Amino acid sequence: MGRSKCGPCGLSVSPEHHAAARAAETTARRSYGKLVALLAARSRDIAGAEDALAEAFAVALADWPHHGVPAKPEAWLLTVARRRLVDEVRRRVHDERSAVQQLLLADEAAEPALYELPDRRLGLLFACAHPAIDAAVRAPLMLQTVLGFDAAAIASAFLVAPTAMGQRLVRAKRRIREAGIALELPATDELQGRLDAVLDAIYAAYAEGWLDADGTDARRRNLADVAIWLGRLVAALLPGEPEALGLLALMLYTDARRGARRCEAGHDYVPLAEQDPRRWDAARIDEAEALLQQASRAGRMGRFQLEAAVQSAHSVRRFGREVDWAAIEQLYAVLAALTASPVVALNHAVARAHVHGIEAALAALDALHGDARLAEYQPYWAARAELLARCARREEACAAYQRAIGLERDPAVRRFLQGRHEEALQDRVEAGGEGAVTQAARR
């Protein structure tokens, strides 16, 4: 068989090793949370389940190149991980008749390859939202256990230091194990109290997937699709729940524009204001509109319904109509009062530029300048840069653009910001353009 020098330090790697690594990566992307949920369902030990699964993947990378990728990689990994869990329980528990151990042994005796594995991710999501878990860590915990995010990625999404986030996650998993919290769907009367945290986690996952417009980041790949699937699952579980419907509508509105975020050649970033509405997915927008209307009939307005309404206001461009910025500004004003979120406050300031003028928007941004949560938040600096440029405050605009460019991870968006920066240097920014202001708030 041929070999290639793709390994570390130029070591040769066989095609079999490549195939095994690709299969393991694909299975991890698709089924990480599913496997963790299955492994932890009996033991209620999420950290132990994650460790056992990590060991199973390590065994797979050593075994599959020699014996071939199994027909059902999920079942193979589950079997190996369960054996690791049983071994760990035997080391910790001297009483061979312990209930947890007997359940694990029963699981090991079953042959997962003979049946389709059940999907218990939704139960794990709601378990992570248990009242005994610190409210601030519920959504991050779901992202790690169900979707396999690392602490650094979660910290970035929630504007928290990675070390602090890692410590919170460890404490939360310990709390679940020590309190014996069941990793399953709670009773119907308990679902509502946990819903907000579950919806927050789903949307955070969607936002991470949305950032990878080209689908080239293996860690984010398919996250947006998984989040939409989870959103549909929650909406089905709680029919008529307006915020579940609002979240699903919000994700569908923005996902409908996915293909228009790059030029037709696929290389250059296209901000919302410059996108061709004909490239939007009309069917997804229609579905989102129907969901939002259904949610509004419940008479209980919430965050996700308001955010979906903002996206609905932008979608009128597909009918050749002008965006109603006054309505968007009002929606963000209500959202800001409801959430006290610095990101919502940023979006509100952007909308104010279209309704009350650039100076009013800059004043609103100045009020946010000392918020440490925005110090490393690229959209804040991109919005500030363009507003300053449109006021002919070139030096301040260039400094803000440089900060935004340094913080941006997407090469296409970085090139877009660099182009705006060059325009600011040349003092050729058009007074009426939206550009980075719009893309900062709603990309």
The answer on 173 and 135 residing in a single domain is yes
Do 37 and 102 lie in one domain? The reply is: yes
pLDDT in tens, the chain (443 residues): 444 444 445 445 678 888 888 888 888 877 888 888 888 877 778 888 889 999 999 999 999 998 899 989 988 999 899 888 877 767 766 554 455 555 554 554 454 544 456 677 778 888 888 888 888 888 888 878 877 777 887 887 777 888 989 899 999 988 888 888 887 778 877 888 888 888 988 898 888 778 765 555 545 556 788 889 889 988 988 888 999 999 999 999 999 999 899 998 888 999 999 999 999 999 999 999 999 999 999 999 999 999 999 999 999 999 999 999 999 999 999 999 999 899 999 999 999 999 999 999 999 999 998 888 898 899 999 999 999 999 889 899 999 999 999 999 889 999 999 999 998 887 644 444 444 444 444 44
Residue 342 lies in a domain: no
Judge whether 56 lies within some domain.
yes
- DSSP class of residue 4 equals B
pLDDT of residue 335: 96
Q: Are residues 149 and 190 in the same domain?
A: yes
Are 124 and 95 part of one and the same domain? Answer: no
Helix, strand and coil content of the chain, in percent to the nearest 5, comes to 75, 0, 25
d(CA 98, CA 79): 21
Final residue of a structural domain among 109, 138, 164: 109
* Spatial distance between the Cα atoms of 246 and 292, rounded to a whole number of angstroms: 6
**Which pLDDT does position 345 carry in this prediction?**
94
Number of domains in the chain: 2
The beta strand positions in 218-367, using DSSP E, are none
Q: Which residue, of 109, 133, 163, is where some domain finishes?
A: 109
Confirm whether 127 is domain-assigned.
yes
Print the domain residue range for 188. Answer: 120-220
Beta strands, E only, 269-330: none
Per the CB < 8 A criterion, the answer to whether 154 and 165 are in contact is: yes
Whether 181 contacts 44, CB under 8 Å? yes
Q: Of 174, 193, 220, which one is at a domain's C-terminal end?
A: 220
Domain co-membership, 35 together with 101: yes
